[in-house]
Structure formats: structure tokens, C-alpha cells
Amino acid sequence: MSQPNSWVGYRTIVRKEVTRIVRIWGQTVVPPAITMTLYFIIFGNLIGRRIGEMGGFDYMQFIVPGLVMMSVITNSYGNMVSSFFGAKFGHHIEELLVSPLPSSIILAGYVTGALVRGLMVGAVVILVSLFFTRLEVQHPLIMVSVLLLTSVVFAMAGMVNAIFAQKFDDIAIIPTFVLTPLTYLGGVFYSISLLPEFWQKVSAFNPILYMVNGFRYGILGVSDVNIVRAYAIMLVFAVLLFITCMTLLRRGTGLRS
């Protein structure tokens, strides 16, 4: 018997994940659309009109890239952590663990699922934003590559969380106490040039700042950070998280007794 076809296995995981995202569309796609509409109305329109310009753009335009990234980060992470932990909690992860699929394919399949959800939600948020403002993409390749890299990074971070989680509380702690504060402080709603120097330096340790600004550079052509450094930081996180995920999956940490 020859080695099983891993490509079929990969496609199966992706199909299963996408089916799940579509089946529960009311939980996956609709809530971010509603939340972001509220952000656009309240922050962009009502409050934004009083703020005026930021970074050379009207406030509504300035926050669009940040809000798209916020949705992509939250949904990529959330999709991975809920789907993988759900499979672990319900024991159907065993279907994959007893199969011949290598760990790399399991990781790739789940990351692609999270990527699909991240991109779907990102597209919905961009569409919603077009009802409120006008966007002219300055650097499409940068925009797309930053979007993909960010989604992949947070999908893998979600997998690490899911692997170590023992109960549903454990998958809520990181999004609530780590992701949300880092996202809000990552320049979604403001340029860090507004902050005192000390807090600008503190902000430089926030990886989400580089992702938000990288994406903003792709759309608006402005950024608070050096774009090369932004890519370097995203790539370093992607590599570190990939190694971590692969090590954990191969060892069976949190999955095999």
C-alpha cells in the first residue's frame, strides 16, 4: 500500500471547515458585519465628523483598515480556536489523529479554514465600509499579503490556544484579556503619533500595530511604522507559531494522552 494522498486529506479538512462556517453563518459572518456597521456609524460618522482628519485622511477613511484588520484577527483566531477546541472537546479530533494525515496537513487544513473565515469577514467589512466612505487602494499587493499573513498568524495562535485549552473558559481568556486590548491599542482608531513618546515606544512592542499599519499602508499609503519592519515582524511571528504548532501537534500535547 502506498502513502495516502495528503492533498485529498487537506481538501477534506478545508471543505469541512468551510461547510461549518457557512452552516453557522449567523454566528460567523453576520455578527462582525453588524458590529462593524455600528463602529462606522458611531465612531466613523457621528464622532469622526467632530475629530476631522487623521494621518491626512478623514477619520472614517482612517479607521476602515484598522476595523478590517480587527475583524480579520478576531475571526481567524476565533474560527481556529472554536473549531479545533470543539473537535477536541467533542473527541472528533480523534478522527484526524487516527488517520494517516501528517501534522503539517492538519495544521494547513485548519489554518486555511480560519483564513477563509478571516477573508470572508474582511470582505464583508470592506463592503460595509463602502456605504460610508470611499476607498482607493494604493498598494494592492501589500494589502492582500498583509491580510493573508495576519490571518495565518492569528489562526496559528488560535491553534496553540486550542491545544492547551481544557475547558471553554480557556478559549475565552486570550481573546478577552490579550487580543482585544492589543487590537484597540494597536492603532485601529488613532495614529500612534498622537501618543506621548513613552507610549509610542510601548506601542512598538505591540505586534498588532504593525499589522494594522501594514494594511493601512496597503489601502491608504500611510503608516506609523516602517513597512519592511512590519513584514519582518509578521514573518517572525508566522515562523515561530508554525514551529510551535508543529511541535505541539507532533508531540500530541493536549491531544494524545
Partner 1 sequence: MIQSPSLPWAGSGPTLQVCCVPHEAMKVTGQMLALEVDQLKKTYANGVEALKGVSLRVEEGDFFALLGPNGAGKSTLIGIISSLVNATSGEMRVFGTSVQRERSMAMSYLGLVPQEVNFNQFERPLEIVVNQAGYYGIPKKIATERAEKYLRQLQLWDKRDQPSRSLSGGMKRRLMIARAMVNEPRLLILDEPTAGVDIEIRRSMWEFIREINEKGTTVILTTHYLEEAEELCRNIAIIDHGEIVEDTNMKQLLGKLDIETFVLDLREEILQPPRLEGMDIHCRDENTIEVSLPRSKSLNALFAELDDQGFHVTSMRNKANRLEELFLRLVDKGASS
Applying CB under 8 A, the residues found at the interface with partner 1 are 1, 3-9, 11-13, 15-16, 19, 87, 90-92, 94-102, 251-252, 256-257
- H or E stretch at 54: strand 53-54
Nearer to partner 1, 4 or 56 (CB): 4
Nearer to partner 1, 98 or 141 (CB): 98
Q: Please, what is the end-to-end C-alpha distance for the chain in angstroms?
A: 29
Residue 94 Cβ vs partner 1, minimum distance, rounded to whole Å: 5
Tell me what percent of the chain is helix, strand and coil, each rounded to the nearest 5: 75, 0, 25
Residue 103 Cβ vs partner 1, minimum distance, rounded to whole Å: 10
Q: Rounded to an integer, what distance in angstroms lies between the CA atom of residue 206 and that of residue 232?
A: 14
Residue 251 Cβ vs partner 1, minimum distance, rounded to whole Å: 8
Nearer to partner 1, 72 or 87 (CB): 87
Nearer to partner 1, 87 or 179 (CB): 87
Residue 25 Cβ vs partner 1, minimum distance, rounded to whole Å: 14
Contacts of 109 (CB under 8 A, 6+ apart): 9, 10, 12, 13, 14, 17
> 3-class DSSP state for residue 53?
strand
Nearer to partner 1, 63 or 106 (CB): 106
Residue 9 Cβ vs partner 1, minimum distance, rounded to whole Å: 5
Beta 57-58 vs 53-54: how paired, if at all? antiparallel
Residue identified by cell 482585544 is 180
